[in-house]
Amino acid sequence: MPLGLTLDDASVLLIWTAVVLYALSFIAYAVDLGVRSAAATDAKDAAGRGVNGTSPAGRGSNETSAAKARGLVGAGAGASSGSGAVSIEFGDAVAATAVAPPNRAASAAGSGAGEASTPKRMVMARIGTTLMVLAFLFHLGGTITRGIAAERVPWSNMYEFAMTGTLMIVFVYLVVLIRYDLRYLGVLIAGLALVLLGGSAVTFYVEVVPLAEPLRSVWLVIHVFVATLSTAFFALAFGLSVLQLLQARRERLEKLPDSKPLARGLRFLRTLPGADALESLAYRFAIIGFAFWTFTLIAGSIWAQDAWGRYWGFDTKEVWTFVIWVLYAGYIHARATRGWRGNRSAWLSIIGFSAVIFNFTIVNMFFKGLHAYSGLT
């Protein structure tokens, strides 16, 4: 290696480059939410002027603002039906702008202005996504380099588990963007990757060491890969559930005639899908994650039989893996058969993902058992 760098040194350099790019992506996505807030305010103002009555020229200006908001919401909250994506219902910002009857000439001019402004409106979201793709490539390079340096799959300790887990979360997010435009989740995904990867690089880093004897099995590849894939889908469901709670609160307060504007929640929420649409999408991702987690539980039992001669031994890690399975099974069952929808459904999803994070951090760090592979001393 040039400059006397080892492969592990190169891996660390690539990982820290990815951390910096995730931070920049987080900033870009955060600015995009600020732009969305401004668009939501413009749309609300245009709706108010339309209700109170304006001149034809004023209505044309209102429609221009409405067109801008429509462009922003359509680009940021869901892909068009022509792309094969599932259409979803948006918040009330766009609907509110359509109050005034349109003037044909002004409407045409307004629509043209809105379409022209859409690229400017979404530029920060595009920058955020581009930076995340670059961060993912550096992240992938750092993970592969670590594996080459160790001459094994990089899944031996918490540093490597965190490296792979965050890589999978970002990968699934970027793949999902092909079908659903979830760039409004970008600030959460980039923030999660930044905290988990950066925190693990600072706290959990250890030198390359050989695999522990029980990990020298093909089941390591199968079990850990499927577990991280499941966690990625749970992360998306978690983010959507958080937004669902915020959106539900905003929609509830909007119906109160005496509520103050500042008490109605974050303004960018008006440019996102409605609470019901967010809940439906979170439920889909949770089901996919649950299917993979079920396989994780089964594969872990088979691996335990191969390594220790028993399928189940109430080891701390085994118990918490089962607890997570029960939480998501309860969430899916309650929503599908008991009518648990709305905030109760969202909280179950959030509690489930919190248990996943607890299982990775607290259980690995402070609970001793046969699965004590944190690498920390």
Is the predicted pLDDT of residue 63 greater than 80, yes or no?
Answer: no
In a domain, 40, yes or no: yes
When mean pLDDT is compared over 62-76, 139-153, 328-342, the highest value belongs to 139-153
pLDDT digits (tens, 9 = 90+) for 205-243: 888 888 777 677 788 888 889 999 999 999 999 999 999
Q: Is there a single domain that holds both residue 151 and residue 217?
A: no
Is the predicted pLDDT of residue 97 greater than 80, yes or no?
Answer: no
Q: Is there a single domain that holds both residue 238 and residue 362?
A: yes
Q: Is there a single domain that holds both residue 216 and residue 155?
A: no
In a domain, 205, yes or no: no
Give the whole-number percent of the chain exceeding pLDDT 90: 42
Domain limits for position 323: 212-366
When mean pLDDT is compared over 1-10, 31-40, 144-153, 329-338, the highest value belongs to 144-153
Taking the C-alpha atoms of residue 325 and residue 327, their distance in angstroms, rounded to an integer, is 6
**Which letter does DSSP use for residue 152 in this model?**
S
How many domains, the chain? 2
* C-alpha closest to that of 284 among 244, 312, 313: 244
| pLDDT-derived band at 55, boundaries 50, 70, 90 | very low
Taking the C-alpha atoms of residue 371 and residue 304, their distance in angstroms, rounded to an integer, is 10
- Looking at residue 95, its pLDDT comes to 35
In a domain, 70, yes or no: yes
Mean pLDDT, the chain, integer:
78
* C-alpha closest to that of 53 among 62, 43, 66, 42: 62
Per-residue buried b or exposed e for 247-280, using 16+ beta carbons within 10 Å of the residue's own CB: bbbbbeebeeeeeeeeebbbbbbbbbbbbbbbbb
Q: What pTM, to 2 d.p., does this model score?
A: 0.78
In a domain, 376, yes or no: no
| pLDDT-derived band at 109, boundaries 50, 70, 90 | very low
Q: Is there a single domain that holds both residue 153 and residue 221?
A: no
Taking the C-alpha atoms of residue 65 and residue 29, their distance in angstroms, rounded to an integer, is 22
* C-alpha closest to that of 28 among 187, 233, 239, 143: 187
- Looking at residue 366, its pLDDT comes to 76
Q: Is there a single domain that holds both residue 253 and residue 140?
A: no
Q: Is there a single domain that holds both residue 91 and residue 224?
A: no
* C-alpha closest to that of 158 among 374, 377, 376: 374
Taking the C-alpha atoms of residue 161 and residue 238, their distance in angstroms, rounded to an integer, is 20
| Count of beta carbons in the 10 Å neighbourhood of residue 95 | 14
Residue type, 276: D
Residue corresponding to tokens 């929640």: 265
Residue corresponding to tokens 């965190």: 162
pLDDT digits (tens, 9 = 90+) for 251-275: 888 877 765 555 555 778 888 889 9
Is the predicted pLDDT of residue 289 greater than 60, yes or no?
Answer: yes
User: Once rounded to an integer, what is the mean pLDDT over residues 246-255?
Assistant: 86
Q: Are 94 and 139 in contact (CB under 8 A)?
A: no
State how far the alpha carbon of 251 is from the alpha carbons of 15, 95, 229, 267, 275, in Å.
41, 13, 33, 12, 8
Is the predicted pLDDT of residue 96 greater than 70, yes or no?
Answer: no
State how far the alpha carbon of 295 is from the alpha carbons of 35, 107, 150, 172, 241, in Å.
42, 54, 27, 18, 24
Is the predicted pLDDT of residue 108 greater than 50, yes or no?
Answer: no
- Looking at residue 113, its pLDDT comes to 35
Q: Is there a single domain that holds both residue 130 and residue 234?
A: no
Taking the C-alpha atoms of residue 76 and residue 273, their distance in angstroms, rounded to an integer, is 9
